[in-house]
Structure 1
Amino acid sequence: MEKFKRVIAIVTDSIGIGEAPDAAKYNDVGADTLGHIGDFFKGDWALPNWQQLGLGNIRRDAPIQGVEPIEGPLGYFGKMYEISAGKDSMDGHWEMMGLPVTEPLGFFPKGFPAELIQKIEDFSGRKVIVNLPYSGTEVIAKYGEHQLKTGDLIVYTSGDSVLQIAANTAVIPLAELYKICEYARSITTDQPYRIGRVIARPYVGDSADTFTRTSDRHDYALMPNAPTDLDRLQAAGVPTYGVGKINDIFSGQGLDDGVHTTSNDDGMTQTIKAVTDGRTGFIFTNLVDFDAVYGHRRNAQGDGDALMAFDARLGELLAIMEDDDLLMITSDHGNDPTFRGTDHTREFVPLVVYSPGLPGNGDLGIRSPFADMGATILANFGVANDGSGQSFLNELN
């Protein structure tokens, strides 16, 4: 029998909590997203709802300024580190759902091969420009006016396995951008490319000063190469619902339904709506703004403000939860806004678990892989675990 009728998992995309054991392999020694945001604010910030669940207790040995440990937290707390071969969102989310990415994905730090670019040009009938690692906002500021004049495609990458195509919808309509990205996805699934995600990056504006990316971003991820915990839940008749870019990350696999969101705030609105509408089963939410809007832009002020805004919405969610609801809050990787570069950082991620029907004040320790989370969800619904994680459901008492 299921212990909880509903499990809600919220991924605060990119909010790490200190360098992972293998951070040196990724040149990320010293990264600490939450800790460094706390340092930036000099403790003059607060996440009271998350803190009361136990967020600060994860770091009793090195407290986060403004989010220190408390006595008797209401939830269960710990941290996780991943075993996947990369630090992309796809790696983290797939591993949460029992499918670590063990084969390194294609990584092109100097730009994509000429033959791949030629195929995109031939298909689209447009010239490709840039083809270098870039910040998304910087690349459209620098090349957006050129694109308006020429209709060329802005193709760029990052420190992750991604091929991104930015297009001003005034000259390259959204439908055309999506079609080009779908083609790029179709030719980069296998080796020698095997790129994790192709991302459509539409924007609007008529000058470098006014260019603004829109919420019509679309991620074309690889199809999972084996069943995930979402598939296992779905096959067992447990309803699965994705909020935000969850559907994109899993290419729709294992999801009964879902909703696209325009912001963190919209993501929380849709999550709260799913609860008030009486959805049961598994609700899986990704809040991407921490990563896309603030982390990659190295905006510590914005990241901290966004975390406080999330915490306020978290309070609304906590107020409507019932004794047979279980909430998990975690992250998929780090993206330290004070760190060098503009890429993701290899970090531990926080794990906070709460139900009004549980006594709380429990230490879940260090978990690895991320798949422990998915294994716990499967155990709750009495579904066989064929993935790679170990359930901590019995520790929630």
Structure 2
Amino acid sequence: MNRAVVIVLDSVGLGALPDAHKYGDEGSFTLKHVAEGVQNFSLPNLQSLGLGNITDIPNLDAEKKPLGSYGMMKEQSPGKDTTTGHWELAGTVLDLPFPVYPKGFPKDLIEEFEARIETKTLGNYPASGTQIIKDLGQEHIDNGYPIVYTSADSVFQIAAHEEVISPEKLYELCEIARELLQGEHGVGRVIARPFVGEFPDFKRTERRKDFSIKPPTPNMLSLIKNNNLDVVGIGKINDIYAGKGVTKSYPTKTNLEGIEKTIDTISEETKGLIMTNLVDFDMLYGHRNDPEGYYKALFEFDTYLPNILASLNDDDLLIITADHGCDPGHPGTDHTREYVPLLVYNNKLKSVDLYTRESFADVGQTITSLLEVGKTPNGSSFADELVR
């Protein structure tokens, strides 16, 4: 194999993990609740790969002869956020979760941040991104103070109106926050959240930018890059891994743009890894409890899946998976701690049941094994199971 193509369907979970009760996520099941929340649920191409063979989903039948291999994976790392899930896919299993701040950030931390940026801030409490700009947006316009907030995830978010604080200046504020937020306060991501409009019709823009904490190495990306192979990140991948191990990055604004860029990149003469994050499932629909929108995004991906398969070479391995859940049918608007799907395809390989893998890190270990670039710190390769 010369190349792996990993597509992360951000938040497409397959049911609560055994420890989901520790997170308040008992009963969560993103894909099942999406299927139950819409009419005429159908994902024929994902079904043909074996998605319906993994577990019971309404209107998603098991195939007698699926095109791909199939299974699901547990998350070993504590937590349920994007960074944790992606890091584990690449071979990093965390001992401790990234810090979260259900009561807002400590006073001394905010005071230090304000001293560094030489202005006061607003907010400092957990909130929906759309709600907090509705609540504080006009005050921010009046006094120019940036809005700081968090969520159930390990994030330090800064919102600002683009006509009050330019996106470029907002990114500078985020870089200062990222430098400050290390050690015990080393949140997974600092996120710039620009918005526009007039009260009460504020709207967040596509100029969001993530500033992630740097991942430990070695991991899948660093091993591939250090062997002089390509590591192409599409969507949020470059941000999630803080640019470490990525040789080329293509940020995207929508799932469709990410899908099309993935197909285009597969057609190029690259060797190594193409890794894509499709975030609309999570960002636009899971967090907003919108099963209809979630399904439309899934159906869009399913519609383009044959084009993705057709673009693959004989020595390409496609892996479709996820990083956590975000169940639109579960109480609240936060991520949910769930199993994630594992679909593996190469037109020369037979379909096998990969069962339940003990860690997301099995993905990274398998890819580095097949590319012969070394071993990641965690995970068990399923490469031998694919060729038996």
Do the two structures share a fold, i.e. TM-score over 0.5? yes
Cα shift readout 1:11-57 (whole Å, capped 9, x = no counterpart): 00111010011111111110000000001015x12111111100111
Cα shift readout 1:236-271 (whole Å, capped 9, x = no counterpart): 222111111111111111111111111111111111
Residue 321 of structure 1, CA deviation: 1.7
1:133 matched to 2:126? yes
**Bigger CA drift: 71-80 or 232-241?**
232-241
Unaligned 5+ residue runs, structure 1? none
Paired with 1:208 and 1:71, the residues of 2 have a C-alpha distance of 53
Question: Which position in structure 2 is the counterpart of 1:288?
Answer: 279
Cα shift readout 1:268-315 (whole Å, capped 9, x = no counterpart): 111111012232211011111111111111111111111111111222
Residue 166 of structure 1, CA deviation: 1.1
Question: Which position in structure 2 is the counterpart of 1:317?
Answer: 308
Q: TM-score, normalised by structure 2?
A: 0.97
Paired with 2:324 and 2:100, the residues of 1 have a C-alpha distance of 17
1:229–1:387 Cα contact (<8 Å) kept:
no
Question: Which position in structure 1 is the counterpart of 2:169?
Answer: 176
Cα shift readout 1:207-260 (whole Å, capped 9, x = no counterpart): 322x22222211111111332111111112221111111111111111111111
**Bigger CA drift: 239-248 or 134-143?**
134-143
1:79–1:365 Cα contact (<8 Å) kept:
yes
Residue 386 of structure 1, CA deviation: 3.8
Question: Which position in structure 2 is the counterpart of 1:117?
Answer: 110
1:244 matched to 2:241? no
Paired with 2:43 and 2:357, the residues of 1 have a C-alpha distance of 23
SS in 2 for 1:366: strand
Write out aligned runs for 1:239-278 (5 A): 239-278=230-269
Distance 1:23 1:394, change over 3 A: same
Question: Which position in structure 2 is the counterpart of 1:279?
Answer: 270
Question: Which position in structure 1 is the counterpart of 2:90?
Answer: 97
Amino acid at match of 2:31: L
2:348 equivalent among 351, 357, 368: 357
Paired with 1:41 and 1:375, the residues of 2 have a C-alpha distance of 37
Question: Which position in structure 2 is the counterpart of 1:18?
Answer: 15
Paired with 1:46 and 1:325, the residues of 2 have a C-alpha distance of 27
1:322–1:357 Cα contact (<8 Å) kept:
no
Paired with 2:251 and 2:264, the residues of 1 have a C-alpha distance of 13
1:372–1:390 Cα contact (<8 Å) kept:
yes
Question: Which position in structure 2 is the counterpart of 1:5?
Answer: 2
Write out aligned runs for 1:1-397 (5 A): 4-42=1-39, 44-59=40-55, 63-191=56-184, 193-209=185-201, 211-360=202-351, 362-397=352-387
Paired with 2:256 and 2:112, the residues of 1 have a C-alpha distance of 39
SS in 1 for 2:249: strand
Paired with 1:292 and 1:262, the residues of 2 have a C-alpha distance of 12
Amino acid at match of 1:346: R
SS in 2 for 1:396: helix
Paired with 2:217 and 2:305, the residues of 1 have a C-alpha distance of 33
Paired with 1:301 and 1:147, the residues of 2 have a C-alpha distance of 34
Paired with 1:185 and 1:386, the residues of 2 have a C-alpha distance of 27
Amino acid at match of 1:86: G
Cα shift readout 1:331-352 (whole Å, capped 9, x = no counterpart): 0000001111111100000000
1:238–1:381 Cα contact (<8 Å) kept:
no
RMSD: 1.3
Paired with 2:281 and 2:333, the residues of 1 have a C-alpha distance of 13
2:362–2:381 Cα contact (<8 Å) kept:
yes
Distance 1:148 1:263, change over 3 A: same
SS in 2 for 1:346: coil
SS in 1 for 2:183: coil
Paired with 1:278 and 1:314, the residues of 2 have a C-alpha distance of 21
Paired with 1:303 and 1:293, the residues of 2 have a C-alpha distance of 8
2:234–2:258 Cα contact (<8 Å) kept:
yes
Amino acid at match of 2:302: D
Amino acid at match of 2:261: Q
2:3–2:371 Cα contact (<8 Å) kept:
no
Residue 328 of structure 1, CA deviation: 0.3
Cα shift readout 1:127-151 (whole Å, capped 9, x = no counterpart): 2112111111121222222222222
Question: Percent same amino acid at aligned positions?
Answer: 45
Residue 194 of structure 1, CA deviation: 1.8
Residue 8 of structure 1, CA deviation: 0.3
2:368–2:376 Cα contact (<8 Å) kept:
no
Q: TM-score, normalised by structure 1?
A: 0.95
Corresponding residue pairs, total = 387
Unaligned 5+ residue runs, structure 2? none
2:364–2:376 Cα contact (<8 Å) kept:
no
